[in-house]
Amino acid sequence: MNTLSPPRPPVYNRYTTALARLVTGASLAGALVGCGPGPDETYVTAVIGRSGGTIEHPSAYVEVPAGALESDVTLVVTDLGPPDASDALSPLLAFAPHGLSFLVPVTVGIAVDQPDASIWWSQSREDFSVVQTEVEDGFATTTTASFSYAFAAERVDLESESDTSTGTGVDSASTTETATDATPLLPFAVELVWTSEVDLDLHLLYNSEELFERPGDACFCNPEPEWGPPGPQGNPEFYGNSTALGPEIIDLPTPVEGNYEIRVHRMVGHEDTEARVRFYVDGEIQESFNTPMNTDGDVWRVARFSYPGGVLTPIDSMEHTSLTDCFDP
């Protein structure tokens, strides 16, 4: 195991996955941004560091001031579709890595089409609370010191409401509803980048030993497996930038009990490369690993852990597979 220096920013050009997703990106001031598949679920990513920057999504933006981050972090904003709220003015948005803490508050803006709007925020995606909101130039804005889920809805006056919590299945304006107590779970995320223009893929296996097997392998061809109960709790979210050098991210804000393993697969390429994996807990890098991956079909078994209470244990072994796409057992 080697400790990584911050990865160099990804270079965006041609890259094709088994889902035939084609994504292009453009360089912004202080950030590199790529757009994901849509229209049902679209995302953008940005690598932002100590100097700050802005990540822009069609439905939202995040302004990160200088000094808010100590090192380069890949930020992701995802459109999860309509929230379960009759007065919603925006899609439900995921800001990731979930639980990421900022040293200086960042500004989040959500596009709205009326001047009276409030932002609803949640750490669990199940229970939302209204936060202090300003509306200007077509955006409802707020500040936050950490990332999670949010959407905009018709305005609620914080000073006149005694209870400002709601579940996603409840009309967000009905703030007298009692929110369901959410079990505090530690969010984690895994990030993969690499150093040359080859096709590497990140995999997170849950209670499974079979690469590409649904539902136990979260990856590009199984991006939202259902590992937990019905609903978002316990289920991972895969963000594949479909670029030459990554990043690919698997985010699991509410893990469920079980055994997990991180793997990286080299699909195809004509160059040698080095794979680099970073493991985040509560938005902070806990471990980082790297190894050369120079042969098509190589599978790097990176590390394993159990939840709850498990310790991340390096495996650092190489296997080989001829598989290239997901299958059902």
pLDDT at 13 over 50: no
Least confident of 35-44, 77-86, 240-249, 255-264: 35-44
**Are 151 and 194 found together in one domain?**
no
Indicate whether 221 belongs to any domain: yes
CB burial of 128-167 (b: ≥16 within 10 Å; e: otherwise) equals bebbebebeeebbbbebebbbbbbbbbbbeeeeeeebbbb
Q: Are 94 and 146 in contact (CB under 8 A)?
A: no
CATH of residue 122's domain is 2.60.220.30
**Are 72 and 137 found together in one domain?**
yes
Task: Please indicate whether residue 186 or residue 40 has the higher confidence score (pLDDT).
Answer: 186
pLDDT at 168: 39
**Are 244 and 301 found together in one domain?**
yes
Residues 6+ apart with CB under 8 A from 313: 303, 304, 305
The residue count of the chain comes to 329
What is the average pLDDT value for the chain, to the nearest integer?
76
pLDDT at 151: 95
Portion of the chain with pLDDT greater than 70, in percent: 76
Tell me 232's DSSP state: S
Could you give the CA distance from residue 296 to residue 313 in angstroms, rounded to a whole number?
A: 26
Indicate whether 149 belongs to any domain: yes
Could you give the CA distance from residue 131 to residue 113 in angstroms, rounded to a whole number?
A: 19
Least confident of 31-45, 125-139, 272-286: 31-45
pLDDT at 117 over 70: yes
Indicate whether 180 belongs to any domain: no
Mean pLDDT over residues 219-245, rounded?
80
**Collapsed DSSP state (helix, strand, coil) of residue 154:** strand
Q: Which domain holds residue 268?
A: 188-320
**Collapsed DSSP state (helix, strand, coil) of residue 61:** strand
Task: Please indicate whether residue 308 or residue 34 has the higher confidence score (pLDDT).
Answer: 308
Indicate whether 204 belongs to any domain: yes
**Are 150 and 70 found together in one domain?**
yes
pLDDT at 246: 74
What is the secondary structure of 264-309 as a DSSP string? EEEEE-SS--EEEEEEEETTEEEEEEEEE--STTEEEEEEEEEETT
pLDDT at 159 over 70: no
In the chain, the number of structural domains is: 2
Least confident of 29-33, 152-156, 162-166, 204-208: 29-33
The sheet with strand 248-252 has its strands ordered as: 237-240, 248-252, 188-194, 274-281, 284-292
User: Cis peptide leading into 308, omega within 30 of 0?
Assistant: yes
Indicate whether 239 belongs to any domain: yes
Q: With bands split at pLDDT 50, 70 and 90, how would you rate the model's confidence at 242? A: low
pLDDT at 244: 63
Most confident of 116-125, 171-180, 200-209: 200-209
